[in-house]
A and B are shown apart, each in its own frame.
Chain A
Amino acid sequence: MIKKEFFLKGYKSILKPDSPAIALACCFVAIGALLKNIGFNIQESVLSTVLIYALPGSLVMAESILVGASLLSIFIAVWFVNARLYPMAVSLFPLMMDESQPKWKYYLSCHFIAVSAWLIMKSDYETVKKKDRVDFWIGIGSATLSVSVLATALGFYLADHLNKDMLMGLAILNPIYFTCMMVGAMKTLQITLSVLLGAILGPVFYFFSPEWSILLGGLIAGSISFLIGEKNVN
């Protein structure tokens, strides 16, 4: 089963002074307010965060419901938007795969893959032995999901009291927090190039295809950075 010691160590990572809890909570406060405004009730708002737990996906769902899109088009749109979770999973789970751990832990805990939990795990995984990392990860994911759910409920009830400036402040928090985390992670040539090229190519590709811009920008920027990095090391 899950080792309590490592689960709690992961769970407590959200309490660190520079943890993403505040930025994460603010984003989900904004999502809670948005969901109320499009007609969700409190149970639906909370359930959507528990089951989806990915901000861009929730935004696409909300926009799709507003325009009366079909379930199939919602599925395809969300799949495209959240396809970034695939490389995030592939770049994280090999760090915690261990023969002694049951597979179900990996299949269930992949639900926690989101930018905040991913970045915490990426910076802290070396503090835990490989065989215990999945329990540590489940702790981190449970903590970030708990914050998100509570913040969604808070946003739902605060929706009528938030003015334009407040919503703008909540909306800018997350990209700024993640920008700082990404800049902080630029410690190798490959990662530095990946972040810089991704930030340039993502918006550039938006002019050609808004739907594919993130995936195409990420794929090309990441591949170029990988090749340059490998050549440099060799």
Chain B
Amino acid sequence: MSISVLLSILVTSLATYLSRFLGVLSSLKIKETSKIFRWFNCLAYATLAALIARTIIFPAGALLDASYLSRFLVVLLSLGVFFMTKKNFVYPTVFSAISIGVINNFF
């Protein structure tokens, strides 16, 4: 194991753990019925939605190979599958993986 890679992993894990740990420390003083808890609940859902939207609209890595239109279409069609299958999570997920390559060949 090279030292630089090992150090990079350790530094990355420390930076990641820091946010988690600070979150737990803050939680010690917050009640689940408080307003601040509801505010953080909104922040968490909004941040996740921002992250997912950014991943689809401004992707990094392999998704860069798919065109903007094909990504957009896959999201719309997958949400259609989600509602048609009574909000099952697996069918739209599998559908998206199979369809992205096919749709990308057309758009």
Interface residues of A (CB under 8 A from B): 17-18, 20, 22-23, 26, 30, 34, 39-41, 43-44, 47-48, 51-54, 56-61, 63-65, 71, 74-76, 78-79, 82-95, 97, 106-107, 110-111, 113, 115, 118, 164-185, 190-191, 193-203, 205-206, 210, 213-215, 217-219, 221-223, 225-226, 229-230
**Bound form: Cα–Cα A115–B76 in Å:** 22
Evaluate contact between A87 and B61: CB separation under 8 angstroms: no
A17 to chain B, nearest CB (A): 7
Please indicate the chain A residues that have their CB under 8 angstroms from the CB of B30 in the complex: 90, 94
**Bound form: Cα–Cα A115–B63 in Å:** 20
Evaluate contact between A164 and B8: CB separation under 8 angstroms: no
Evaluate contact between A168 and B104: CB separation under 8 angstroms: yes
Q: How many A-B residue pairs have CB under 8 A?
A: 319
**Bound form: Cα–Cα A93–B23 in Å:** 8
Evaluate contact between A65 and B97: CB separation under 8 angstroms: no
Encoded as 1 (CB less than 8 Å from any A CB) or 0, chain B from 1 to 22 comes to 1101111111111111111111
Encoded as 1 (CB less than 8 Å from any A CB) or 0, chain B from 22 to 52 comes to 1110111011100101111111111111111
B47 to chain A, nearest CB (A): 3
**A179 nearest in chain B by CB position:** B52
Q: How large is the interface on B (under 10, 10 to 19, 20 to 34, 35 or more residues)?
A: 35 or more
From known contacts A30-B62, A171-B61, A194-B46, infer whether A202 and B78 are also in contact, taking CB-CB under 8 Å.
Answer: no
Main secondary structure of the interface of A (DSSP, over half): helix
Please indicate the chain B residues that have their CB under 8 angstroms from the CB of A177 in the complex: 89, 92-93
Contact of B62 among A53, A171, A229 (CB under 8 A): A171
Please indicate the chain B residues that have their CB under 8 angstroms from the CB of A175 in the complex: 52, 55-56, 75
B53 to chain A, nearest CB (A): 4
Please indicate the chain A residues that have their CB under 8 angstroms from the CB of B88 in the complex: 18
**Bound form: Cα–Cα A121–B48 in Å:** 15
A166 to chain B, nearest CB (A): 8
Interface residues of B (CB under 8 A from A): 1-2, 4-24, 26-28, 30-32, 35, 37-63, 65-66, 71, 74-75, 78-79, 82, 87-90, 92-94, 96-98, 100-101, 104
Evaluate contact between A18 and B90: CB separation under 8 angstroms: yes
B90 to chain A, nearest CB (A): 5
Please indicate the chain B residues that have their CB under 8 angstroms from the CB of A230 in the complex: 35, 38
Contact of B93 among A84, A106, A180 (CB under 8 A): A180
Please indicate the chain A residues that have their CB under 8 angstroms from the CB of B38 in the complex: 190, 226, 229-230
Please indicate the chain A residues that have their CB under 8 angstroms from the CB of B46 in the complex: 194-195, 197-198, 201, 217-219, 221-222, 225
Evaluate contact between A51 and B89: CB separation under 8 angstroms: no
**Bound form: Cα–Cα A184–B93 in Å:** 14
Evaluate contact between A43 and B1: CB separation under 8 angstroms: yes
Contact of A218 among B9, B50, B63, B89 (CB under 8 A): B50
Please indicate the chain A residues that have their CB under 8 angstroms from the CB of B90 in the complex: 17-18, 22
From known contacts A44-B5, A180-B82, A214-B54, infer whether A226 and B15 are also in contact, taking CB-CB under 8 Å.
Answer: no
From known contacts A198-B50, A202-B54, A222-B39, infer whether A44 and B1 are also in contact, taking CB-CB under 8 Å.
Answer: yes
**Bound form: Cα–Cα A177–B89 in Å:** 6
From known contacts A90-B30, A178-B48, infer whether A198 and B53 are also in contact, taking CB-CB under 8 Å.
Answer: yes
Please indicate the chain B residues that have their CB under 8 angstroms from the CB of A23 in the complex: 89, 93
